Amino acid sequence: MADHSGTSDSPYAGLLRAALTDLLLTRGAIQDQRVADAFRTVPRHLFVPQVPVELAYTDDVVLMKRDQSGVAISSVSQPTVVAVMLEQADIQPGHRVLEIGSGGYNAALLSELVSPAGAVTTIDIDEDVTARAWRGLDAAGYPNVRVQRADGEFGWPGGAPYDRIIVTVTAWDIAPAWLEQLAPGGRIVVPLRMRSQTRSTAFDLCDGFLESRSMAVCGFVAMQGAGAGYERSVPLRGELVSLTFDEDQGDQPVPPARVLEQKIATAWSGVLMNREEPLCDLDLWLASTLPGFCLLVAEPRAVKKKLVSPAPRWGASAIASDTSLGYLTARAAADPDFVELGAIAHGPDAPRLARSLVDQVCKWDQKHRGGSGPQLRIYPADLPKAELPVGFQLRKRHHQLVLSWPE
Ligand SMILES: C[S@@+](CC[C@H](N)C(=O)[O-])C[C@H]1O[C@@H](n2cnc3c(N)ncnc32)[C@H](O)[C@@H]1O
């Protein structure tokens, strides 16, 4: 447990911290009393000194750095996401933990959870970030956390083996070094990107492969360095509407740039969704069942001009062929709290694409909606396909991922 006697904590900050912790408990992001105690203890405002103390204790991400083109590359993560990942990691006293992607705050929480005997190492690729993390940890009274500048793709062998590896930056694959540095029975928690969708996934090591224990939707800045993944954006109608393909979809056909001006087909599913209900599980289901899957992203202007009507506009599930495009849409239902899901498609193959999207929406609704969600297993890249279990297979650089949907 850290000694905060010499820090610039205050009773007011303590009250704000307690309120934030209560909020996270109420929302179910925190379930373990030890995680709640850590949140009540670690002074988050000392890790984000540039914002007012009230902002430090709202449930928001604090953006810390952008690259030259304005893209966010470092932040202090949203407390809800931090809490969910700590719950997924199930950190115990005495654990040795590696955090990839620093900022200091999460490392301090980890330090609370492993104390008195464990060890926390946090690494970041960016020298500004490690310097900032170190200052925050020092100010908050956590000098025992080891802060190193390193590319997370290679882990940090100096502190291995680790009982837990927590990655707090979006990864496209599981780096081989993480497996090498994980202790027997260890767990990796990582925001993993699959078909442009990111899930914080907790993996346990079982018989030489990794098996998921839980998944949670999240958003993180993208990994830099040797493990960086790439997405391809294909513009339609200038930059107003675009299609996003993931790195492993390099050879996927794309429709012509003027496809949205072509023949249109619409199909409705009869599946109703509460307006507040997230589409995340459905999106992953569609990604794993529809050949030609991609994401359709639309500027607000494109929706206003009625060029497209995607649900949701910041990334609607879509399917593309070399002639046609279909995407998920929604219309108001009789009950104002609900919408009905459907599909809009353009191009010569529009009726078939709209139908296949809607068929999969119905299948998900009947078999998987509200269920335990998908399971993910990770195998070495050189394992013959015939030895992989049944499921949706994704080939990454170092590993093959198999996503299955228990009914
Ligand atoms: C969301 S921030 C981490 C937040 C932090 N865990 C906290 O306590 O709030 C993600 C960090 O990952 C770092 N990063 C990106 N690529 C990396 C890599 N290959 N290795 C290590 N760190 C990396 C970025 O510099 C950034 O600071």
Residue pLDDT, tens place only, 15-54? 999 999 999 999 999 999 999 999 999 999 999 999 999 9
Can you list the positions of beta strands (E) in 182-292? 182-194, 197-206, 209-217, 231-236, 241-246, 264-274
Q: Whose CA is nearest to atom 14 of ligand 1?
A: 101
Q: Quick check: 3 pLDDT over 70? A: no
* Residue found by looking up tokens 């009773």 in the block: 11
Domain ranges of the chain: 11-227, 232-367
Please give the full DSSP string across 120-156, using - where no structure is assigned: EEEEES-HHHHHHHHHHHHHHT-TTSEEEE--GGG--
Can you list the positions of beta strands (E) in 299-398? 316-320, 325-332, 338-346, 375-380, 392-395
Q: Whose CA is nearest to atom 1 of ligand 1?
A: 75
Q: Is 78 touching ligand 1 by the criterion CB < 6 Å?
A: no
Measuring CA to CA, which residue among 305, 303, 312, 300 is closest to residue 339? 312
Q: Whose CA is nearest to atom 26 of ligand 1?
A: 74
Q: Whose CA is nearest to atom 6 of ligand 1?
A: 102
In ligand 1, the atom with minimum distance to the C-alpha of 223 is 16
Q: Quick check: 4 pLDDT over 60? A: no
Q: Is 151 touching ligand 1 by the criterion CB < 6 Å?
A: yes
For position 7, what pLDDT does the model report? 59
Q: For residue 190, what are the β-bridge partners?
A: 201
Distance, CA 242 to ligand 1 centroid (Å)? 28
Q: Is 122 touching ligand 1 by the criterion CB < 6 Å?
A: no
In ligand 1, the atom with minimum distance to the C-alpha of 152 is 20
Q: Quick check: 277 pLDDT over 90? A: no
CATH: 3.40.50.150, 3.90.220.20, 3.40.50.1970, 3.40.250.10. Which one for 11-227?
3.40.50.150
Q: Is 125 touching ligand 1 by the criterion CB < 6 Å?
A: yes
Asked if 130 and 148 touch (Cβ cutoff 8 Å), the reply is yes
Average pLDDT, whole number, for the chain?
94
Distance, CA 143 to ligand 1 centroid (Å)? 20
Asked if 108 and 85 touch (Cβ cutoff 8 Å), the reply is no
Cis amide linkage into residue 116, ω under 30° from 0: yes
In ligand 1, the atom with minimum distance to the C-alpha of 153 is 19
Q: Quick check: 70 pLDDT over 60? A: yes
For position 102, what pLDDT does the model report? 97
Q: For residue 204, what are the β-bridge partners?
A: 187, 211
- For residues 387 and 379, what is the distance between their CA atoms, to the nearest angstrom? 10
Asked if 363 and 344 touch (Cβ cutoff 8 Å), the reply is no
Asked if 159 and 146 touch (Cβ cutoff 8 Å), the reply is yes
User: Ligand 1 pocket test: which of 77, 125, 151 has the largest number of ligand atoms within 8 Å of its C-beta?
Assistant: 125
Can you list the positions of beta strands (E) in 219-369? 231-236, 241-246, 264-274, 293-298, 316-320, 325-332, 338-346
Q: Is 360 touching ligand 1 by the criterion CB < 6 Å?
A: no
Q: Quick check: 375 pLDDT over 90? A: yes
Q: Is 169 touching ligand 1 by the criterion CB < 6 Å?
A: yes
- For residues 129 and 61, what is the distance between their CA atoms, to the nearest angstrom? 16
Q: Is 153 touching ligand 1 by the criterion CB < 6 Å?
A: yes
Instruction: Give the catalytic positions in this structure.
Output: 77
Q: Whose CA is nearest to atom 9 of ligand 1?
A: 76
Q: Quick check: 208 pLDDT over 80? A: no
In ligand 1, the atom with minimum distance to the C-alpha of 64 is 27
Confidence of residue 6 (pLDDT cuts 50, 70, 90): low
Q: Whose CA is nearest to atom 22 of ligand 1?
A: 124
C-alpha dist (Å) from residue 71 to 83, 139, 158: 25, 29, 32
Sign of the dihedral defined by the CA atoms of residues 381, 386, 387, 389, in that order: positive
Q: Which two tokens stand for residue 282?
A: 């459905």
pTM of this prediction exceeds 0.85: yes
Q: Quick check: 372 pLDDT over 70? A: yes
For position 224, what pLDDT does the model report? 97
C-alpha dist (Å) from residue 254 to 121, 244, 247, 355, 356: 44, 10, 14, 19, 18
Q: Is 145 touching ligand 1 by the criterion CB < 6 Å?
A: no
